[in-house]
């Protein structure tokens, strides 16, 4: 059996004294795209932060294996170098740091962590140009401070561009459709689909079924009250859209 | 009611009084005899209590006969030097630059002990007259070399109408308990465009004091940048006088302070005539147990209508023991002006740090990026590439020294 790209075993996590993840189990084999759907407050975004290693959350039980390796003891930058990428629901604005400078630092830091040589500037520029052109990101945008003054669509396109450059083995997309109009959604989805290569796995976290028309998942999981309560194929998403989350219990957010 | 107790004088004051008397500055000596060095009860020294902080005044400097390495090299710059208060011979000046000497102090008298002492003790002033635009950066190195010494020196700069220039002053020298009291007077002619940068790179043992006075004629544009990155005790005065309609000043500064240091930028801008503007923007970064102070006073004269000025101080604390003090003051006598002030203070933003780290950037590097980002607003407007790089190097050096 091939090693799954992601394996989550009985994951429990809390913030302050409040338990949010209550026993998550999930296996994503190489090349598969899994979607997690659930109502607001069900713990979907927490799962993405815990995967990426945000300090505020404390894992009390369970394991997260990335390509067979337990990543729970790793810092966020080490997880990134190990092949994890989180596309943020709300990308952070960082004044004074040019997007281009940031991209170069990120790429080279990951290469260094993997024992690879740093990219030469012309090679880096070529990679950025290629990745940018597919997502309608021009040089002017790259010269601006990271995410500062970017529109909602620009921020999400920039996230996908980072993903394209960093080539993770697992991409976690947290509510990537939020704040996007239909045109922007298509550009972003096209960017994501271009990165489906049969090897890279993805975990698409979303509130609405709409995104899954564009990024068609192999498996859909329903998330409720801190764990996965049902899994199925892409038709499960349509069923959810029609019926809502009410049948899974808990209170509406 | 104020009781008239005699002030108890300490060794620093005794030494200072003796030096002033020997220089024939009886009035300045008398002031210190009566009032002592300013304490926190003097409003403008509230956060920088000189009586407590300045424990000794070393002997007045004699000629320097050794030299430390230059603290900052700016490729292509035209260099001048004042060492231990004495003006050194310079290379041939670029076209339009007249280098000369004048007697005595350069500052306008005001009620401030550092200004009085400089005026009394500075024997000669280096004068720079810029008759037209000067391309190379002009760097004035002010050194205090040898054994611990008290130095008062002075520089007077005239920038002609329509001329543009960039002048950088660096303060450095030997690693002894010097007290430097430096003065610069800069007059910018009509529509002149001037950048003036002063960088303290002295040793930790040094007490560094500088007063930068500016006079701006009609339409003159001034950008100033004070960087404190050296002395254990540093205070720089920024005193611009907006004296011509259309004059504008971007007054910026950066306190970089670590364990045991105390750095103070005190600005007082006088908007003397209608239709002038200023944009004071100061930043302080503090790590360890250290103190940064920024005081910013905007004074708008009675008929200086349409003045537009906003003071801003932003602090970044890299430790729990860091202290950042901010004092904005507005003194406005006109009624049709837009004036304001703001201060912020915080630690490194955790969400920003997580975001950078989630892209593979290790924590120390991510922190450095965020600190550089915090300062970018001050360095980005410095267009000369070599100079910009040199300044970035100072900031990076300071950041690295704390890793």
pLDDT in tens, chain B (403 residues): 455 567 899 999 999 999 999 999 999 999 999 999 999 999 999 999 999 999 999 999 998 777 888 899 999 999 999 999 999 988 899 999 999 999 988 999 999 999 999 999 998 999 999 999 999 999 999 999 999 999 999 999 999 999 999 999 999 999 999 999 999 999 999 999 999 999 999 999 999 999 999 999 999 999 999 999 999 999 999 999 999 999 999 999 999 999 999 999 999 999 999 999 999 999 999 999 999 999 999 999 999 999 999 999 999 999 999 999 999 999 999 999 999 999 999 999 999 999 999 999 999 999 999 999 999 999 999 999 999 999 999 999 998 887 6
**Strands, sheet with B248-257, edge to edge from the N-terminal-most edge strand:** B86-87, B78-83, B138-144, B164-173, B193-200, B221-228, B248-257, B277-286, B308-317, B338-346
Tally the domains of chain B.
1
Q: In this predicted structure, what is the pLDDT of residue A74?
A: 97
Judged against a pLDDT cut of 50, whether residue A223 lies above it is answered with yes
Query: Nearest CA to B217 among B251, B187, B196?
Result: B187
Q: What is the ipTM of this complex?
A: 0.96
Task: Check CB contact under 8 Å for B360 and A77.
Answer: yes
Q: Which of B351, B358, B369 sits opposite A80 (nearest CB)?
A: B358
Residue showing tokens 């290469």: A111
pTM reported for the whole predicted model = 0.90
- Is A75 within 8 Å of chain B by CB? yes
Q: Which two tokens stand for residue A37?
A: 């759907």
Distance in angstroms (rounded) separating the CA atoms of residues B186 and B178: 25
Contact in structure between B160 and B131 (CB atoms under 8 Å): yes
**How far is B363 from chain A, CA to nearest CA, in Å?**
8
Helix or strand run (H / E) with residue B164? strand B164-173
Residue showing tokens 């989805």: A189
Q: In this predicted structure, what is the pLDDT of residue A250?
A: 58
Q: B29 CB contacts (<8 Å, ≥6 apart)?
A: B17, B20, B21
**B197-227: b (≥16 Cβ within 10 Å) or e:** bbbbbbbeebbbbbbbbbbbbbbbbbbbbbb
Q: What share of chain B is helix, strand, coil (3-state, %, to 5)?
A: 20, 40, 40
Interface test with A, best of B359, B362, B367 (most A CBs within 10 A): B359
Task: Check CB contact under 8 Å for A94 and B355.
Answer: yes
Domain that holds residue B279: 67-347
Contact residues of B toward A, CB < 8 A:
350-352, 354-363, 365-366, 369-370, 372-377
Residue B352 lies in a domain: no
Residue B362 lies in a domain: no
Class (C level, CATH) for A6-246 = alpha beta
- State the average pLDDT over residues A103-110: 96
- State the average pLDDT over residues A122-144: 92
Distance in angstroms (rounded) separating the CA atoms of residues B178 and B56: 9
Compute φ and ψ for B253, nearest 5 degrees: -165, 160
Q: Domain locations in chain A?
A: 6-246
User: Is residue A101 very low, low, confident or very high in pLDDT (cuts 50, 70, 90)?
Assistant: very high
Q: In this predicted structure, what is the pLDDT of residue A1?
A: 64
């Amino acid at each position: 059996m091939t090693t799954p790209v992601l394996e989550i075993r009985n994951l429990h996590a809390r913030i302050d004294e409040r338990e949010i993840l209550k026993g998550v189990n999930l296996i994503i084999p190489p090349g598969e795209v899994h979607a997690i759907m659930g109502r607001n407050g069900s713990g979907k975004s927490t799962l993405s932060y815990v995967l990426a290693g945000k300090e505020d959350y404390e894992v009390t039980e369970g394991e997260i294996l990335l390509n067979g390796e337990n990543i729970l003891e790793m810092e966020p930058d080490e997880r990134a170098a190990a092949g994890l990428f989180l596309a943020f629901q709300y990308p952070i604005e960082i004044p004074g740091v040019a997007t281009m400078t940031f991209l170069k630092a990120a790429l080279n830091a990951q290469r260094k962590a993997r024992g690879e040589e740093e990219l030469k500037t012309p090679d880096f520029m070529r990679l950025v140009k290629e990745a940018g052109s597919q997502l309608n990101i021009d040089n002017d945008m790259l010269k601006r401070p990271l995410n500062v003054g970017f529109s909602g669509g620009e921020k999400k396109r920039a996230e996908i561009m980072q993903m394209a450059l960093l080539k993770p083995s697992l991409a976690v997309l947290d509510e990537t459709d939020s704040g996007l109009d239909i045109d922007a959604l298509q550009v972003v989805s096209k960017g994501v689909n271009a990165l489906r290569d049969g090897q890279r796995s993805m975990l698409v976290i979303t509130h609405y079924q709409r995104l899954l028309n564009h990024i068609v998942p192999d498996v859909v999981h329903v998330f409720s009250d801190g764990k996965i309560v049902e899994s199925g194929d892409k038709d499960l998403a349509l069923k959810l859209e029609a019926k809502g989350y009410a049948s899974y219990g808990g209170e509406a957010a | 009611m104020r009781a008239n107790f005699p002030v108890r004088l300490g060794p620093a004051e005794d030494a200072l009084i003796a030096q002033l008397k020997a220089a024939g500055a009886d009035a300045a000596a008398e002031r210190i005899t009566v009032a002592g060095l300013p304490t926190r009860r003097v409003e403008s020294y509230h956060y920088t209590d000189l009586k407590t902080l300045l424990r000794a005044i070393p002997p007045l400097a004699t000629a320097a006969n050794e030299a430390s390495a230059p603290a900052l090299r700016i490729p292509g710059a035209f260099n001048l030097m004042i060492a231990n208060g004495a003006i050194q011979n310079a290379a041939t000046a670029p076209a339009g630059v007249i280098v000369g000497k004048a007697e005595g102090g350069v500052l306008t008298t005001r009620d401030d002990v550092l200004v009085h002492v400089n005026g009394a003790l500075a024997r000669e002033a280096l004068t720079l007259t810029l008759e037209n635009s000067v391309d190379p950066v002009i760097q004035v190195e002010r050194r205090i070399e040898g054994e611990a010494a008290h130095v008062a020196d002075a520089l007077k700069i005239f920038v002609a109408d329509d001329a543009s220039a960039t002048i950088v002053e660096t303060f450095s020298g030997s690693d002894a308990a010097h007290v430097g009291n430096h003065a610069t007077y800069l007059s910018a002619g009509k529509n002149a465009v001037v950048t003036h940068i002063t960088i303290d790179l002295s040793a930790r043992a040094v007490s560094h004091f500088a007063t930068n006075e500016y006079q701006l004629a009609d339409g003159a544009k001034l950008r100033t940048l004070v960087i404190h990155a050296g002395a254990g005790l540093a205070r720089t005065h920024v005193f611009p006088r907006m004296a011509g309609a259309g004059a504008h000043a971007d007054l910026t500064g950066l306190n970089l302070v670590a364990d045991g240091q105390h750095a103070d930028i005190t600005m007082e801008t006088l908007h003397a005539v209608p239709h002038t503007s200023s944009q004071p923007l100061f930043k302080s970064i503090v790590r360890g147990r250290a103190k940064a102070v920024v005081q910013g006073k905007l004074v708008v004269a009675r008929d200086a209508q349409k003045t537009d000025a906003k003071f801003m101080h932003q602090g970044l604390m890299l430790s729990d023991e860091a202290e950042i003090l901010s004092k904005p003051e507005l003194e406005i006598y006109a009624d049709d002006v837009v004036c304001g002030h703001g201060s912020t203070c915080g630690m490194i933003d955790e969400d920003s740090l997580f975001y950078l780290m989630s892209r593979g950037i290790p924590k120390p590097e991510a922190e450095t990026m965020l600190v550089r980002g915090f300062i970018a607003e001050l360095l980005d407007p410095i267009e000369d590439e070599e100079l910009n790089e040199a300044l970035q190097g100072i900031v990076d050096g300071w950041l690295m020294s704390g890793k």
